[in-house]
Structure 1
Amino acid sequence: MAGEKKAYPLRISAAVLDAMQRWSDDELRSVNAQIEYVLREALRKAGRLKAGPTRPTPDDDTD
């Protein structure tokens, strides 16, 4: 169950999406994987997520 993925619709401003696209391109990730990475890091730093892998696995990079 740890690797289970759930779809979630996200409303996001065009400016934020454009910035995420540029960042994900720089990191060689899809936008989806980059958003998940950023969220996971923020949750980890806030102590709301157990430490674990911070880079998505190859199957996480599907859009």
Structure 2
Amino acid sequence: MAKKKSFPLRIDPKLYDVLQAWAKDEFRSVNSHVEYLLRQAAKEAGRLPKSQDKKMDTD
């Protein structure tokens, strides 16, 4: 598996609380849930190459 890119993210505390509760409902960490949501948005926007899109579905 490729190493993941790490970067700081500043986020409104109220939005973080929403994400934290949502992640808990989905049995994910906040980090994993944010990555999941970004991946879904990139797919819907047609921004992921097809090979990457299929690979990410199995992650």
**With structure 1 as the length reference, what TM-score do the two structures score?**
0.76
1:46 aligns with 2:45: yes
- What percent of counterpart residues are identical? 44
What is the number of residues matched between the two proteins?
Answer: 55
Question: Max radius of gyration: which structure?
Answer: 2
Equivalent residue for 2:30?
31
The alpha-carbon deviation at position 3 of structure 1 amounts to 2.6
* Unmatched segments (≥5 aa) in structure 1: 58-63
- Structure number with higher relative contact order (C-alpha < 8 Å, ≥ 6 residues apart): 1
Equivalent residue for 1:61?
none
1:49-60 → structure 2 map (5 Å cutoff): 49-50=48-49, 51-52=53-54, 53-54=56-57, 57=59
RMSD: 1.7
* Unmatched segments (≥5 aa) in structure 2: none
Larger fraction in helix: 2
**With structure 2 as the length reference, what TM-score do the two structures score?**
0.81
Q: How far apart are the structure 1 equivalents of 2:13 and 2:57?
A: 26
